[in-house]
Amino acid sequence: MGLNLSLLTLSMKALGLVVASGPVPAGSTAIVTSPSLTLPTSSAQRPYAVDFNNLPYQETVRGMAQRWMAQKGLPGVWCALIKGGKVVACVATGSKNDHAAATVNDHLNVGSVSKVITGEMLAQFVAKGVISYDTTVGKVFPDVQKDYPNSPFYNATLLQLITHTAGIPRRVNIPREGNPLIYRLWVLKTIVGTNVAAEPGRKESYSNLGMQIAVAMVERLTGQHYEDWLQGDLGKWLGLTNATMLDTSRPSSDDVAPHFMDMNTATASPGASAAPYAYLKSEPNAGCSVTLPDLCSFVITTTLSNGGQLPSKIYTDSLRSAFPGGKFSSVGWECQPDGWVYHNGSTGRGEFAFVSSNPRRGSGFVFYTNGGYKPETNPGLNSGMDDIIKELVKMCPK
């Protein structure tokens, strides 16, 4: 997705930001437009690709998927199984929301699974020395701190933002700004300009805002836009060959009207219910749209390729909790004591995604449906999805 750079520059100037073309001087608030991340290009480090000519569990998993559809009234199921570090089934069955037949090449709106995609991309910038996990919000945004000085949130580190320990709520009511870079500054200024932030590092509290600010920090330091990471070489290096951002078809019941901007008048309408509203397309915490083969490639590349695609420290840190007693790794995976790492996500419109891997077993799976999550009656991992996940876990040998 291209950006109108002239409009972007004008918008940044309106916020008091400077667009620069060289390295950032110490203490500067300038945005750098020169690339700061160079990725390996050797064929030995290309991401895993699904071999559709060798899927020995294809019909087994297809039968399971069709049974789940019949039992639970699911319109469509997309499911893949990984054994021995390879995809052994990659199935799409049933229908999409528009009633067309489901295919493995459909783009799936994976909701909060986007957090681990974003976290793995951020880890590459850490590995290259662009930013540290100890870098604080205040260090990257001294200009914002000057305007809004009294908030503990400036002490939050990149690691705390990723691991849900930054002391911020799950969401705040923020009018949508059409430019994603400026929208993320809205998020930051709302957090520090209101009494919503607690002292960082005190407890783990799941938030959709942490990844927004984590991304904003690296965007500020590099000038590289999040969508360019995802759809460029960085995303492809992690196995995402044609990822996009969430479509703009309709708002989610999981988000209320103050989270949307009226695209007809380009004005925010807090508390209003007037249509039409549209999704902002750049949501690092919940907005990635990915195909089933790409999700498989991402899981294998990032969690099952030790000594391969990822630098060893990123690989190790991806698969263990970031601190004793914590649930989340430094890239956002939720870690279990038995070796499983996973993340689930929904869009609040019925789509439900679950991505999981167990490096000890060399196994994992991806599950997605467009009709299994109903937040109005089941606020958590319910609606019958949990027994599907347990069945898939049993398919992965110990």
- pLDDT: which is higher, 250 or 360: 360
| 333, pLDDT greater than 70 | yes
Q: Quick one: tokens of 79?
A: 């499911």
State yes or no: pLDDT of 135 exceeds 90. yes
- How many angstroms separate the CA atoms of 220 and 312, rounded? 27
Rounded distance between C-alpha atoms, residue 103 and residue 93, angstroms? 7
pTM score: 0.81
Residues paired with residue 109 on neighbouring β-strands, in sequence order: 289
Contact status, residue 196 vs residue 210, Cβ threshold 8 Å: no
Q: What is the rounded distance in angstroms from the CA atom of residue 147 to the CA atom of residue 244?
A: 35
Q: Given this model, what pLDDT does residue 178 score?
A: 54
Alpha-carbon distance of 56 to 264, in angstroms, equals 51
* 346 backbone dihedrals φ, ψ, rounded to 5°: -145, 165
pLDDT, position 390 = 92
Q: Rounded mean pLDDT of 94-119?
A: 92
Place of tokens 């002239």: 6
Alpha helix stretches (DSSP H) within 304-374: 312-318
Residues 19 and 5 sit within 8 Å (Cβ to Cβ):
no
End-to-end CA distance of the chain: 42
Question: Quick check: 320 pLDDT over 70?
Answer: yes
Asked whether the predicted pLDDT for residue 5 surpasses 50, the reply is no
- For the chain, domains (ranges, CATH) are 5-394 (3.40.710.10)
- Residue 40 predicted with pLDDT over 70: no
DSSP state letters, 203-255: -----SSHHHHHHHHHHHHH---HHHHHHSHHHHHTT-SS-EEPP-S---TTS
Look at residue 47 in the predicted model and tell me its pLDDT: 73
Pairing of strands 108-109, 277-278: unpaired
DSSP SS3 for 5: helix
Q: Of all helices (H) and strands (E), which one includes residue 299?
A: helix 292-303
Q: Round the average pLDDT of the chain to a whole number and report it.
A: 77
Q: What is the pLDDT of residues 277-317, one digit of tens each?
A: 333 445 788 888 899 999 999 999 899 876 566 778 888 88
102-111 pLDDT, tens digit each: 999 999 989 8
Pairing outcome for strands 267-268 and 288-290: unpaired
